[in-house]
Structure 1
């Protein structure tokens, strides 16, 4: 989990989660965590995506979870 450095107290800092943090929080694999990140209101910095703790909590509260849709299989 990455935090924004500031002179404020630690509880006032924004918390950002990446795919690895989602994997650990929800006990899922990398592919499912990546699909979860795609469904969330995320921020891309370079080649990594991050979601703020407040956006994650708001999304879960509003939608009752994170909808993960697996891509259709090519046969």
Structure 2
């Protein structure tokens, strides 16, 4: 029996908080959007100074799968 190639839409959802020193809610939002992130295969990071930020995130994401489609009818 030949195997097929399937594309499985997947989301990895990491949820947590960034505590940011800022002048306003919008300033805090912009600091997080511009200076904080997650690198696949790496870790949560920030380019803000340590005295301006702290964070807490689960290291185990929620995993959701969605639509599954056939990409190729048969593999060789």
Structure number with higher relative contact order (C-alpha < 8 Å, ≥ 6 residues apart): 2
Query: 1 or 2, which has the higher strand percentage?
Result: 2
Query: 1 or 2, which has the higher helix percentage?
Result: 1
Which TM class, normalised by the smaller chain length? under 0.3
TM (normalized to structure 1)?
0.27
TM (normalized to structure 2)?
0.26
- The structure with more radius of gyration: 2
